[in-house]
Structure 1
Amino acid sequence: MRFVTYASSAGDRAGVLVAEEVYALPPGVRLVDLLGDLPAAGEAALRDPAEVVPLESVRLRAPIPDPPTVRDFMTFEQHVEGVAKLMGAAVPEQWYAAPSFYFTNPYAVIGPHDDVPVPPGCGVFDFELEVAAVIGRGGRDLGVEEAEAHIAGYTLMNDWSARDIQLAEMEVRLGPVKGKDTATTLGPVLVTPDELAPYRAGNAFDLSMTAAVNGLTVGGDRWSNMAFSYPQIIAYASRGTEVRAGDVLGSGTCGGGCLAELWGRLGFEAHAPLAPGDTVTISVDLLGVQRSRVVEGPEPVEDDLRALRSP
């Protein structure tokens, strides 16, 4: 099944998408509350919908607008290699040892067609084409063999990146922080695993991933090229702690899924950074399309944030 969350005069509504119509769940029911048994909730909505509305008449929100946490991994070797070239480096051996990730900002989640502001102080803005798994049942210290049963569904993800800010702050060796927390786009749909099962291949699914800027394709990959599987990343995320229903776990950028990889392989003349007025379109077969317009963001507040040094 394919689930959506959409805006209405009564607040966010959840529903099942069939063709070009949304079969709504009752008002006040959120997808995050149903993730443990989405098929049953979907069947109820199809039997007795609270309303049926044309998809074209609603504004889609992120399927899970307020996830408890968002973890972003790095599972596509081509992407890691290309971005490493940007910094004059190679893929580190540790990358092969375990599925690395960082926590990004759950408050920054936006919908699949929302405008995206340039982060304050950013001069090198970029997108990242990914697919996220959404946790349906919580767990702790999960093994790889059991982890897949904890996935409620998959959704398209764009991890917007202020590359200049990111590279500067990563010199401190704590990973990306302000370079990543202005916007993360999710949606348009949350697709249950059974819908994708016929396409299973490699560590994911044999489906096409494509990214375009202003209508021109700049890169793409096959989803099946992930070097780590979702069960592996869930097992690692849950080691010594919990994953909970609604947690979002991004695959990391696919090969060719961002401008930074182009810059690493071909130089900065390969493509200009994103700027206000640009439109970024990313798509994955069966997961739909995100179309996001880049807009002006706020200027940074000019406070003095430097360390206070002893004389």
Structure 2
Amino acid sequence: MRFATYEHHGHRRCAVVSGTRLYPLPAGAELLDLVRAGREALHGAGRTALAAEPGPQVAEVRLLPPLQPPTVRDFVAFEEHVEGVRRSVSGAEGVPEVWYEAPTFYFGNPYAVIGAHDDVPMPPGSSVLDFELEVAAVIGLQGSDLTPEQAREHIIGYTIFNDWSARDLQSREMQVGLGPCKGKDTATTLGPYLVTADELEPHRDADGFLRLALTAEVNGEVIGRDLLSNMGWPFEDLVAYASRGTTVRPGDVLGSGTCGNGGCLAELWGRTGRQDPAPLGPGDTVTLTVDGIGTVSNTVVAGADPAPIRPARPRPRTRP
């Protein structure tokens, strides 16, 4: 099944999607609550909605993020992406050996999620904006210290994940040795729908990866194409690693990391040594398509000017 959260005539609703039509769930129903209730509750609510009167067409509404995630983890699971972006951001060559040892991730900003067609403001202080084409798994069952085999049962569905990135901010702040921080903080697209895991099972290959075609376009021009099955680890491994020594909970979103072969502009810049295609700016539209999930398309708009913050003062020499 496919589930959407949308706004129509000033009202927020959740619905099952069938073709181009929305079949609303009862007023007040939230997708995150249904995810927390479990797989059977989610599917049961969907079947009930499909048996009732249809609602508006998808084209008539504003699609919101399918759910408001409690946490957002973003992995870096595509080797080709690591190689290109590392050269672009830091000038280093190749892929760090440590990358192959475990699926690294950072925590994103759950308050920055936006819908499938919402505008994206330029991050304050940035002039080098980039998109990143990813797929995210959504957790449907709480668990800790999971094996990859157990982790498969903890994934309730998938959605498209665009990790918008201010590359100039990212390059500067990562020199401190923490993380991308404000380079990733302004917007993350989730959508258009939450597609339940069972619907994508027919796309699983012999090695356990989901073989889904990924396409990225900027202003109607195809920039990148890849397969989700080119990940270094399947999603079950990502979930298992995320659960080590802690707990994954229903609604948590785990991004795959950006695909290769043009899944973002910075990868292309790293390979050519020049910013071609140019960084994104106001008026540019990024359209990402994942077979089996759908399409998101966001337009960049002008953002706020940054409020000035003074540099750090010299280290104080006083002592108690």
TM-score, normalised with respect to structure 1: 0.96
Matched, 1:198 2:202: yes
State the match for 1:72 in structure 2: 74
Cα displacement (A) at 1:290 = 0.8
Matched, 1:55 2:66: no
State the match for 2:26 in structure 1: 26
State the match for 2:173 in structure 1: 169
Contact 1:203 1:228 in 2 (8 A): no
Corresponding pairs, count: 309
Cα displacement (A) at 1:310 = 2.8
SS of match in other structure, 1:268: coil
RMSD over aligned CA atoms reads: 1.3
Contact 1:210 1:219 in 2 (8 A): yes
1:276 to 267, 282, 285: 282
Q: What is the CA–CA distance in structure 2 between the aligned matches of 1:59 and 1:282, rounded to whole Å?
A: 17
Deviations 1:266-286 (A, max 9, x none): 122421100111111111112
SS of match in other structure, 1:5: strand
SS of match in other structure, 2:171: helix
Q: What is the CA–CA distance in structure 1 between the aligned matches of 2:227 and 2:44, rounded to whole Å?
A: 31
Contact 1:203 1:227 in 2 (8 A): no
State the match for 1:154 in structure 2: 158
Matches within 5 A, 1:1-311: 1-9=1-9, 11-35=11-35, 36-37=38-39, 38-48=42-52, 52-64=55-67, 66-86=68-88, 87-201=91-205, 202-255=207-260, 256-310=262-316
Moved more, 6-15 or 269-278: 6-15
SS of match in other structure, 1:298: coil
**CA separation of 1:101 and 1:93: change in aligned 2, threshold 3 A:** same
Contact 1:147 1:235 in 2 (8 A): yes
SS of match in other structure, 2:192: coil
Q: What is the CA–CA distance in structure 1 between the aligned matches of 2:169 and 2:208, rounded to whole Å?
A: 32
Identity of aligned residues (%): 57
SS of match in other structure, 2:12: strand
Cα displacement (A) at 1:199 = 1.1
Q: What is the CA–CA distance in structure 1 between the aligned matches of 2:289 and 2:126, rounded to whole Å?
A: 25
Runs of 4+ in 1 over 3 A off after TM superposition: 8-11
AA partner of residue 27 (structure 1): A
TM-score, normalised with respect to structure 2: 0.93
Q: What is the CA–CA distance in structure 1 between the aligned matches of 2:275 and 2:253, rounded to whole Å?
A: 34
- Listed as ranges, the gaps of 5+ residues in structure 2 are none
- Listed as ranges, the gaps of 5+ residues in structure 1 are none
